[in-house]
Amino acid sequence: MKHALLLGIAALASLLLPGPRAQAAALPIDTVAGQAHFTHVLSAGMCTRLAQESQKADLTKLTGAESEALLKRLMLGAMGDNFTEFSTLMEKAGKAEASALGGTIGEQAVLEMAQRCPGAGPLIAKIGSSHMAGNVEMSATERSVLLPITQAACQRLDAENAKQPFAKLTPAQRSAQIEQVLGSTLLSNTQALTEQYGDDAMEDEAQGEEIGKKVALLMLEVCPNYILEVGRDEMARERQAAAAPAPKAKAKPAPARKAPAKTSSLKSGSKR
């Protein structure tokens, strides 16, 4: 199940920060004075623009590619509305860290939008689905079975978040918490799952992976901030791996020298 969840999480990597800045290591939040404030402004601007777009058309009918293009427009438009403040932040950061600063702001703005903007969840879920390996289709019957399970898992995550903020956990703790909560929630709904998918639903690895993908997509609708936060962790891990120096090739040991042949003190053929 963990592998299936990570598939859904990894699918969001390109969503969190579209464009070349994704290659740069992100800076800690509020490294530059005013960074956190601008992130809030950017997230609010994206949410406002999303509400305006939803009045023009039914966004649930957009394809994955169209949804992703819309998210990019929302971010760029909100940045343009606040370009002076954004430029000031980039100047404060300097050329060396400007790209990393932009990466952090973009990631955090999407996270905040997912938490606070009512229409963000379905949009993000559509983008996640389009990036997920393989074609994930969910029938109306499947959705009616999996949605209550997903909602229960999200409620448990909300309860844990109230005790200790999810964002303040370590990446390993966040991944483990999602895996534990989702795993136990699925087990407590074994009857509903076996009625829908058969007696082997919880034991067949391939089928379990497909169920995991579908639940991950529903989590993007119901409580996207948790999946996006772990997706951010995954991006950071990939950046660190890419930046790590390649392991040095081990030097081949020098060939062993042959010991010189011992010569007898008596010459061959010598007679006493």
Q: How confident is the model over 23-53, as pLDDT tens digits?
A: 445 555 666 788 889 999 999 999 999 999 9
Q: What are the residue ranges of helices labelled H in the chain? A: 2-10, 13-16, 35-56, 64-81, 83-93, 95-116, 120-131, 140-163, 171-187, 190-197, 205-222, 224-243
At 45 the pLDDT is 94
Who has greater pLDDT, 24 or 164? 164
Query: Mean per-residue pLDDT for 229-239?
Result: 75
Provide the pLDDT for residue 221. 84
Q: Which residues contact 60 (CB under 8 A, 6 or more apart)?
A: 122, 126
Q: How confident is the model at residue 266 (pLDDT cuts 50, 70, 90)?
A: very low
pLDDT at 155: 96
Q: Which of 157, 205, 194 is nearest to 179 (CA)?
A: 157
Taking residues 104-133, what's their average pLDDT?
79
What average pLDDT score do residues 199-204 get? 76
Closest alpha carbon to 153 in 229, 226, 228: 226
pLDDT tens profile 239-258: 677 767 766 666 666 666 65
pLDDT tens-digit readout, 167-196: 899 989 998 898 889 888 988 998 999 999
- Give the pLDDT confidence score for residue 41 in this predicted structure: 93
Whole-angstrom distance, CA of residue 231 vs CA of residue 227: 6
Q: Among residues of the chain, what percentage have pLDDT more than 90?
A: 22
Query: pLDDT tens digits, residue range 131-162?
Result: 665 567 788 999 999 999 999 999 999 999 99
User: Cα-atom radius of gyration of the chain, to the nearest Å?
Assistant: 27
Is the confidence at residue 20, as pLDDT, over 50?
A: no
What average pLDDT does range 55-68 have in this prediction? 87
Kindly list the distances between the CA atom of residue 233 and the CA atoms of 9, 14, 136, 145, in Å, as whole numbers in the listed order. 9, 13, 24, 30
Q: What is the mean pLDDT of the chain?
A: 78
What's the pLDDT at 29? Answer: 62
Whether the model clears a pTM of 0.85, i.e. scores above it, the answer is no
Choice between 232 and 123, residue whose per-residue pLDDT is larger = 123
Ranges of each domain in the chain: 2-243
